[in-house]
Structure 1
């Protein structure tokens, strides 16, 4: 049997059209057309509230359940609508491919004073400043969720680098003392950093928390 994947979203899908509800209504028709897999966008809360598709990650435990970043629903709807969408897809023999983003986090809840060095945007292996202190929003406490599902709070040691005042900075702490994480892609010298607060996977606490989240999400 041939398998067919349908991407059920695009970047500009409007909040008003309620993507989870739309997908639920169309599940039966998709199945009749021969669709076997549906790719859904990130379900977690964006730092941009309900105006962004979920790639500007704020809280991966908030699937449209908590009043955070100015909204309860995500751009796509509420947690209940998301779960109903999955149920409708499964009821019509359609598998779900969930898009998740674990690489970075946007707009923490509190600022910390952290030590950094600036690196060249063209070659991030090249340090172009001395060590200096900045204030950055790298502490994520998720007050709107109030510890439900996880008590873990992210601080600057959970991140390798960040963009601050338009400049890429390497955060200095025990896990990043050897520089960026080693990646196969050598674009910009090292392509570990993409945007926002770049997650530090060498921190064991981060890896444990992410594995707990995967178990919870599934």
Structure 2
């Protein structure tokens, strides 16, 4: 965005679960225009593990924009798919760009558990093994029974993740690295390696995962027509992934190069280094 443009974050973490935000956006689009707002950052629009209680960052199903009866109901915390698309349209009719919040790092609220061999690692140094390989039951099977394969037949299983933090069989919470996996080297070196954040950690070295994220991104840009993305939790995602992914989304969608990544760091040189690694395919916010 140019320097004379103004982007507003049109949500906050503690909004009540009244499923009204999308309708509010539509109703206030004209008011935002009169204020001089030229871009609106909207929260994650997909179904989270907490249903209408979820902010959208506890990602369950990227294809459920408030359309399917999953996680206790149809709407997300912010409303239904129809209301979301109407809100985007209302803003764009007034020449206000829409920035969609995209969360790709993890999945939460799986439908079934799976038994996996894991290593237990140190929370303060994820490269340090605390317990050798052993079997555990983990929540990693995402089959989306409420959606029944609409838009995508892809189902997520433990092979699509690098690790998680919940041993369901013993009820213990420890960071677990799955057999045959390793933490991605192209992430922040914080705590030894900052690949793992929460939930089931998406494996960005898995080719089938790559293809599914490309398919979803193209579906999402075509479905919503958003102008760009705010990309969540970049310090934990392979820095080499986004250059090609964003290029593909730009070619598929109707939006300009409006990509802003979230990278939490107090060191500007760390941010500059990430920008170089991703070939400056985006801007960053800390």
Instruction: Tell me if 1:167 matches 2:174.
Output: yes
Equivalent residues in 2 for 1:19-34 (5 A)? 19-34=21-36
Equivalent residues in 2 for 1:61-140 (5 A)? 61-140=63-142
* TM-score when normalising by structure 2: 0.74
Tell me the equivalent position of 2:197.
Answer: 194
Contact 1:183/1:190 (8 A) holds in 2: no
* TM-score when normalising by structure 1: 0.96
Greater length-normalized contact order (CA 8 Å, ≥ 6 residues apart): 1
Q: Which runs of structure 1 show a deviation greater than 3 angstroms over 4 or more consecutive aligned residues?
A: none
Aligned length: 214
Which structure dedicates a bigger proportion of its chain to helix?
Answer: 2
Give ranges in structure 2 of 5+ residues lacking alignment. Answer: 167-171, 222-286
> Could you list the per-position Cα deviations for residues 133-187 of structure 1 after superposition, in whole angstroms to 9, with x for gaps in the alignment?
01111010100000000000000011001001210000113xx1xx200134111
Contact 1:183/1:191 (8 A) holds in 2: no
Contact 1:67/1:144 (8 A) holds in 2: yes
What is the CA-CA distance between 1:78 and the residue it aligns to?
A: 0.2
Q: Distance in 2 between matches of 1:25 and 1:182?
A: 45
Give ranges in structure 1 of 5+ residues lacking alignment. Answer: none
| Cα distance change on mapping 1:139 and 1:77 into 2, 3 Å | same
Tell me the equivalent position of 2:53.
Answer: 51
Aligned-residue Cα RMSD (Å) equals 1.0
Contact 2:8/2:39 (8 A) holds in 1: yes
Instruction: Tell me if 1:4 matches 2:11.
Output: no
Tell me the equivalent position of 1:35.
Answer: 37
